[in-house]
Structure 1
Amino acid sequence: MSNILLTRIDNRLIHGQVGLTWINHIGANLILVADDEVAYDDIQQNLMDMAAPSTVDTRYFTIQETIDKIHKAADDQLIFLVTRTPENVLKMVEGGVPIKKVNISNMHFKEGKKQISSTVSIDEKDAEAFRKLHKLGVELEIRRVPDERKKDILEFI
């Protein structure tokens, strides 16, 4: 059984908050980026590797690879799973990835999205994915850093 400590939605994937603050807070030794684009982009992977602590391993899988491989993780792999969208999380949960809690941090504003916190903007597609995740028993919190007060996303959708 995989040992996913936390799943995070963050458009930026691996950066300072992920690489330092959250890793130290949850005690992960592996950052798994589940993203169909980054899985095939060595340049983005190299840049993100620079933001990760040298004591932490990184892996870059497509959403389907994550579904297929997560159950093969070694018992000593303490996984911090990072992806860009709630739809990705929903695909993984529906595919059997044992995600129990999702930290929602950065979902950038763009045309057609409604800003619901200082760093999170959603559209109806995002809201529907969050509602489905909630029905599947996944805890959903908006929180940028560990010492910030959690907000339940369901209050906003």
Structure 2
Amino acid sequence: MSNILLTRIDNRLIHGQVGVTWVNHLGANLIVVVNDEVADDEVQQNLMDMVVPDVIGTRYFTLQKTIDVIHMASENQLIFMVCRTPQDVLKLVEGGVPIKKVNIGNMHFSEGKQQVTSTVSLDESDKEAFRKLHKLGVQLEIRRVPDEKADDILKFL
């Protein structure tokens, strides 16, 4: 059984907050980025790897590969999973990935989205994905950094 410490939704995937602050807070030794585009883009992977300390491993998997292989993770792998969208997290959970808690860090504003906090903007598709995740028993919180008080996403749905 995989040891997923936390799953984070962050448009930027790996950056300073993820690669250093969250990893240290969680005690993770592996960051798994789950994104179909980045899984095949070595340039983006190399840029993200520059932010992560050498002692932390990184993997870049597609959604399907994650569903297929996450259960083979070693007990020693303390996993911090990062996705871009709530829809991706929902696909993972529906595919059998044992995600218990989701941290919503950054979901940037774009046309058709409503800004609900300084770093999170949602459209109806996002809200529906969060409602489904909640019904599946996944704990959801909005929090940029570990020392910040968590905010409940459910009040915005």
Query: TM-score band (shorter)?
Result: over 0.9
Which SS does the other structure have where 2:24 is aligned?
helix
- CA deviation vs aligned residue, 1:101-154 (integer Å, no higher than 9, x gap): 000000010000000000000100000000000000000000000000000100
Partner residue in 2 for 1:107: 107
Partner residue in 2 for 1:46: 46
- Please report how far the alpha carbon of residue 51 of structure 1 lies from its aligned counterpart in structure 2 after TM superposition: 0.7
**Alignment-mate amino acid for residue 131 of structure 2:** R
**Alignment-mate amino acid for residue 142 of structure 1:** I
- Measured in 1, the distance between the counterparts of 2:19 and 2:45 equals 13
Partner residue in 2 for 1:14: 14
In the TM superposition, 1:35-74 aligns within 5 A as: 35-74=35-74
Q: Structure 1-normalised TM-score?
A: 0.99
Total equivalences in the alignment: 157
- Measured in 2, the distance between the counterparts of 1:66 and 1:123 equals 26
In the TM superposition, 1:1-157 aligns within 5 A as: 1-157=1-157
- Measured in 2, the distance between the counterparts of 1:31 and 1:53 equals 11
- Measured in 1, the distance between the counterparts of 2:22 and 2:142 equals 14
- Please report how far the alpha carbon of residue 53 of structure 1 lies from its aligned counterpart in structure 2 after TM superposition: 1.1
Which SS does the other structure have where 2:102 is aligned?
strand
Structure 2 unaligned residues grouped into runs of 5+: none
- CA deviation vs aligned residue, 1:69-103 (integer Å, no higher than 9, x gap): 00000110000000000000000000000000000
Q: Structure 2-normalised TM-score?
A: 0.99
**Alignment-mate amino acid for residue 96 of structure 1:** G
Which SS does the other structure have where 2:33 is aligned?
strand
The ranges of structure 1 where at least 4 consecutive aligned residues each deviate by more than 4 angstroms after the TM superposition are none
Q: Identity over aligned residues, as a percent?
A: 74
- Measured in 2, the distance between the counterparts of 1:63 and 1:115 equals 27
- Measured in 2, the distance between the counterparts of 1:13 and 1:87 equals 15
Which SS does the other structure have where 1:8 is aligned?
strand
